[in-house]
Amino acid sequence: MDYAVETISLTKVFSDWWGRAKVYAVDDLNLQIRHNEVYGLLGPNGSGKTTTLKMLLGLLYPTKGRSVVLGGDGADPKINSRVGYLPEESYLYRFLNARETLDFYGRLFGLPAKVRQMRIEALLDMVGLKAVAGRPVGTYSKGMARRIGLAQALINDPDLLILDEPTSGLDPIGTRQIKDLILKLAERGKTVLLSSHLLADVEDVCDRIAILYGGRVQAQGKVRELLQQTNKRQIITDTISDGAVERIKQIVQQEHAECEISSPMEKLETFFVRTVAEAQQQARPTSGAVSTTHIGEFLTPQVQGQDVLEKLVSLHVSQEVSSVPATTEPVPADENVKPKLNEQLLEKLTKVPAQPETERVGTSQTAKTEPVESELSTESDRDEVRRGILDRLTGRSTTDNKKSQQSDRQTSEGADNG
C-alpha cells in the first residue's frame, strides 16, 4: 500500500565530539501513515517526536534507516512544495510583520503575486490576525506567533501537514480553533502528522496515534480502539424522572450488572470556550487574536462525497447553462476577472499536484486548447458546471481540477476503506 509517510527502521544517534554514540533519540522506528489520516505522535519530552519529524524533512540526517514522504525524499524541493511544516517553535523573523512573513514564505514556494495576495488575506482571516497584521511579528505573543506559524505552513495548500506541537502556547480557544482546523483539513483530504504531549488534543483530532518513549514506538493504533472499554456501556439521557431511573436500575440488575447514575460533567474546555464566546458576543475589546474560524477557501478539498456532488450538479445545471459562464462567476476569495488563466498559471508555478504530475500537465494542456465559447454549448456541460461548482466551493476556479477530484476521491475512498 502507498503511504503518505513511511519510515523504515529510522534511527538517529547523537554522538559526542569524538563520534562515540551518546543518545538514541530515535531507535528503529517504523511508522506507516496513510493518506487522508490524522496521525498523532505522542510521547513525553525527549521521546524523539521532534527528531523524527525533522528527519522526515531532511533537517536532520538519519544515522540508519530511511523515510519516504509522499512517495519521495522529504528534502526534495518537489516534495517540499506539497508539504506544510510547523516547527516546534514558530521560528519567525521578528522584523517582518505578519503579512510580509506570509509573503516571504509564499515567494519561497514560487507562488505568483496574485495568488499570494489572495491566500495571505484568507489565511490572516483564518488565524484571526487580520487586525494586527501590520505589526512586527517580534511584538506578538507566543500564541499569536503560533498562529502565523500555522498560516505559514498552509500557504502552499499542502497535501501533507507536519505539525510539531501545534497547540503549544495557545489559549484554550486557540487550541480549540486549531483542533477544528485540523479536522476541517482532514475533511478536505489532507494528511496531518502532528506531535504533541497534550493528550486531550491528540484524543480529539487524531485517527491513529503512536506513543513514543525512548525513541521507540510503545503503542500504536486507532484512538477509538485503544481507548474504548468494550466491557462497559454508557447511556446518556435528557433529564428524566426518578421513577424512570429506578426502572432502568431494575433492568440493569436483571442483567446482573452494576449501574452508576449521575449528571455528566461538562469538559472544562467546552465551558471555557462557551464563556469567552458569550463575552465576545457582548463585544468586549481585546488586543489579542480574534479568529473568524473561516477556513482558507483556497485549501483544496480533496474529498467530496460523490452523491453530494451529484446533487449539487443537478441543482445548478439549468441555472448555469442559461446564466453567466461558470468561469466568470465571482469566486469567494479570489476576485480575479480571469481566474481560469490564473489557476493554470498557479498550477504550473506552484506544482502542488495532488496526483502524479504528468497527468496534471496533460489535463491542463487539453483545457488550454479548448475554445472558451464552446464550453457551455458542448455535451460536456455537466462536467463543466461541476467544475464551476467546485470553484465556488473551494475558492479555486480550476479547469483541470475535475480529473484530480476524481482520482483523489478514489484514493481517499481507498484510504477510508482501509
Partner 1 sequence: MGRAWAIAVNTIKQALRMKVAVVFLVLLLVLLPVMAMSVTGDGTLKGRLQTFVSYGLSLTSLLLCLFTIIVSIYSITSDIEQGQICTIVTKPIRRFEIILGKFIGVVVLDIVLLVIFAAIIYAVVIYMPKFSKASEDDLAAVKNEFYTARASLVPAEIDVSKEVAADFKKLVESQQMEQLFPSSTQDEIIASLTKRRRLEKQAAAVGQELVWEFNNVRQRDPNESLFVRFKYDVSVDPTDSQVWGRWLVGDYRQIRTGSGFETAIYRADRKDPIRTFREVEVPADAVAEDGYVAVSFYNVPLNNTVVIFPLEDGLEVLYKADTFTANYIRGVLLILCRLIFLACLGVLAATFLSFPVAILLCIVIFFMGTISGFILESFGYLGANLSLLYSYSIKLLIELLPRFDQINPTKFLVPGRLLAWGFLGKVFLIMVFVKATVLLVLALLIFSFREIAKIVV
Binding site for partner 1 (CB under 8 A): 14, 23, 25, 46, 50-51, 54, 57-61, 75, 77-78, 80-81, 83, 85, 87, 89, 91-93, 95-96, 100, 104-105, 107-110, 149, 152, 156, 351
Q: For residues 106, 108, 111 and 116, what is the CA-based torsion angle, rounded to 10 degrees?
A: 20
Please report, for residues 251, 258, 317, the alpha-carbon distance to residue 255 in angstroms, rounded to integers and kept in the order given.
Answer: 7, 9, 57
Q: Which residues contact 137 (CB under 8 A, 6 or more apart)?
A: 92, 93, 94, 95, 96, 97, 98, 101, 145, 148
- Name the grid cell of 208: 491513529
The total of other beta-carbon atoms located within 10 Å of residue 152's CB is 25
Least separation in angstroms between CB 25 and partner 1: 5
Write the Ramachandran bin of 344: left for phi over 0, alpha for psi from -120 to 50, otherwise beta.
alpha
Least separation in angstroms between CB 161 and partner 1: 12
- Name the grid cell of 284: 468586549
Q: Which residues contact 300 (CB under 8 A, 6 or more apart)?
A: 157, 188, 189, 354, 394, 396, 401
Q: Judged by CB, which is closer to partner 1: 95, or 271?
A: 95
Least separation in angstroms between CB 351 and partner 1: 8
Residues paired with residue 23 on neighbouring β-strands, in sequence order: 14
Q: Judged by CB, which is closer to partner 1: 89, or 180?
A: 89
Please report, for residues 113, 125, 364, the alpha-carbon distance to residue 346 in angstroms, rounded to integers and kept in the order given.
Answer: 10, 22, 11
Q: Judged by CB, which is closer to partner 1: 62, or 189?
A: 62
**CA–CA separation, 273 and 285 (whole Å):** 17
What letter represents residue 88's amino acid?
E
Least separation in angstroms between CB 340 and partner 1: 23
Q: Judged by CB, which is closer to partner 1: 152, or 300?
A: 152
Q: Judged by CB, which is closer to partner 1: 72, or 221?
A: 72
Q: Judged by CB, which is closer to partner 1: 34, or 82?
A: 82
Beta pairing class for 83-86 and 160-164: parallel
Q: Judged by CB, which is closer to partner 1: 134, or 305?
A: 134
Q: Judged by CB, which is closer to partner 1: 85, or 298?
A: 85
What are the start-end ranges of the H helices in 188-290?
Answer: 199-205, 223-227, 242-254, 268-281
Residues paired with residue 193 on neighbouring β-strands, in sequence order: 39, 162
With beta carbons less than 8 A apart as the criterion, state whether 162 and 182 touch: no
- Name the grid cell of 204: 480529539
Please report, for residues 143, 200, 279, 283, 290, the alpha-carbon distance to residue 276 in angstroms, rounded to integers and kept in the order given.
Answer: 17, 20, 5, 10, 11
Least separation in angstroms between CB 128 and partner 1: 21
With beta carbons less than 8 A apart as the criterion, state whether 99 and 134 touch: yes
Least separation in angstroms between CB 34 and partner 1: 22
Least separation in angstroms between CB 203 and partner 1: 26
Least separation in angstroms between CB 132 and partner 1: 18
Least separation in angstroms between CB 153 and partner 1: 8
Q: Judged by CB, which is closer to partner 1: 28, or 413?
A: 28
